[in-house]
Chains A and B, each alone.
Chain A
């Protein structure tokens, strides 16, 4: 019985469908960013712009300090990712490897923090940040983002650490490593796909986050991209072309990052390590 994974042409068709599925909305946004608002109500609808214009990009950058927002988002997302991974890796190792009595409770506590809708936690978090004088800063967002990413990253890393046989660490420790040394030199490299996966999840979560960014960093100097993009609209206006241009600016860095790191996430780094 020939399955889809055998036939080359079927594979290509499937791949084609996947590519269309993933790219279509992004391409639609790109095309919209080159149109004028009047063209959007033409019947029948148009796909390719009648008279492609870069005016929307110019306006996107002049109406608001888009580059500054981009910089803020990058700074916050990168810091949050690095620290999320750090904190999660330590916690995940403790849960996966150490013989702790209340392991399940600890894990449940960490995951439970994500079971409350953020909108109901906003005011107290705002008060906490204000009390520490952290409002309108990168720290104001990075700290909550670490907490927001903690459940996913910890759980992903726990499951990856668990799938690595203990013998490898024990072998390293017999060779003279400390436990921490074994973590860094044996476990993390072997769980690299898991680490990069947790990293990308943390990054995209932090990049996309809206509610906290809106409430804590209202100063334009610290505003992040998702909040900035909502400011192009008005009470009565929703300029899709300009917003599309801003969205492209928001998506491109992530797409580039993904394209660069997808080898690392998916790559066969571990193909050899588990032979023992």
Chain B
């Protein structure tokens, strides 16, 4: 009884006010930095705004969006982007999980594994792409050198000049680079799982595999969801690695949505259509991650 009254007294009458105060800095910054740009972007998407035309701005309503649906380049880029997402998100999760668990093990000297885990994250994204493009180079690449020495000195494969191989090389590079991000989030989550749970399971006779699926994964679920949300959003926006590795080539077989938007806005100076594509990418990202966001929002 006494505890109930105490807690009643503690419940802030101004919870709403506190909420506003706490969220104010974040929303103030959002308003300052991105609300105007996003608003302008959505506004532009309803106009035919091509700088090279010099013909000025023409309101076209939803015509740009209709053009998007008929645009074979858009569908090609969307297909590539979705494929990259479907491959690299689970890929990075699995590799990241493995890395996180290895980093969590009681080695005598922990820093080599942990540093190795985070070093890929330290390499600037654009240069990671260039380095891996070098690794896959037909003549000067390490991959072909190893193949030549270990397997056969036959004709070296031209990895980046065959659409499927180039795609695979790009996915590999992305997984290499982003598994660090996943591992970091998962590792922090792993640390929060009390050892006592494992000890109890050990006593009950559960194998390591069972412990993994019945303790680790459920306890890690919040972290997994967070990691998945951002890995997915960034996967849908993949730009730097394919741009530096193949420039979308050969042809446009490795061109992603973000590359198409970049090309349309910066090279073609077609700001209107570029904005339309960007809004489409936003809608796609929102749909894909809405499910995850609901789960986080629900957790009390």
Contacts and interface: CB of A to CB of B under 8 A. Distances in A.
A5 B101 contact: yes
A50 interface: no
Given A1-B207, A151-B230, A107 B194 contact: no
Contact of B119 (A99, A103, A255): A255
Contact of B285 (A41, A115, A240): A115
Chain B interface size, under 10 / 10 to 19 / 20 to 34 / 35 or more: 35 or more
Interface stretch (B52-60, B68-76, B86-94, B138-146): B138-146
Which of A21, A162, A210, A230 is the most central at the interface, judged by chain B CB atoms within 10 Å of its CB? A21
A133 interface: no
Contact of A22 (B32, B33, B119, B296): B119
Interface string B268-300: 000000110010011001100110011011111
Nearest to B221: A159
B222 A162 contact: yes
Contacts of B34: 113, 116, 121, 125, 147
Nearest to A129: B33
Contact of A247 (B110, B127, B225): B127
A22 B117 contact: yes
Contacts of B253: none
Nearest to B103: A266
A263 B121 CA distance: 17
Interface in B32-56: 32-34, 36-38, 40-41
A170 B7 contact: yes
Interface in A125-150: 125, 128, 143-144, 146-147, 150
B293 A91 contact: no
A127 B40 CA distance: 12
A87 B27 CA distance: 10
Interface in B223-239: 223, 225-226, 229-230, 233, 236-237, 239
A119 B29 contact: no
Most chain B CB within 10 A, of A106, A208, A275, is at A208
A29 B131 contact: yes
A91 B27 CA distance: 9
Given A91-B23, A155-B230, A22 B188 contact: no
Contact of A87 (B29, B196, B300): B29
Instruction: Give the one of B19, B27, B38 with max A CB within 10 A.
Output: B19
A44 interface: yes
A94 interface: yes
Contacts of A196: 188
A109 B148 CA distance: 52
Contacts of A200: 118, 184
A91 B25 contact: yes
Interface string A254-269: 1100110011011111
Contacts of B236: 115
A76 B115 CA distance: 23
A115 B230 contact: no
A208 B140 contact: no
Contact of A19 (B23, B27, B112, B123): B112
A159 B111 contact: no
Contact of B296 (A113, A155, A240): A155
A90 B127 CA distance: 35
B102 interface: yes
Interface in B117-163: 117-128, 131-132, 134-135, 139-142, 145, 148
B22 interface: yes
Given A26-B123, A45-B140, A250-B124, A117 B281 contact: yes
A251 B184 contact: no
Nearest to A112: B286
A151 B195 CA distance: 31
A62 interface: no
B148 A204 contact: no
Contact of A146 (B16, B29, B185, B300): B29
B281 A1 contact: no
CB-CB nearest 8 A-B residue pairs: A22-B116, A104-B297, A124-B37, A94-B22, A115-B285, A121-B37, A193-B188, A254-B122
14 contacts: A19-B116, A21-B116, A26-B122, A91-B22, A104-B293, A113-B30, A117-B278, A155-B296, A193-B192, A194-B188, A200-B118, A226-B126, A247-B127, A258-B115
Given A18-B117, A274-B194, 16 more contacts: A19-B113, A22-B117, A29-B131, A91-B26, A98-B19, A100-B15, A115-B281, A115-B289, A119-B261, A121-B38, A159-B225, A179-B18, A193-B187, A208-B125, A229-B127, A254-B122
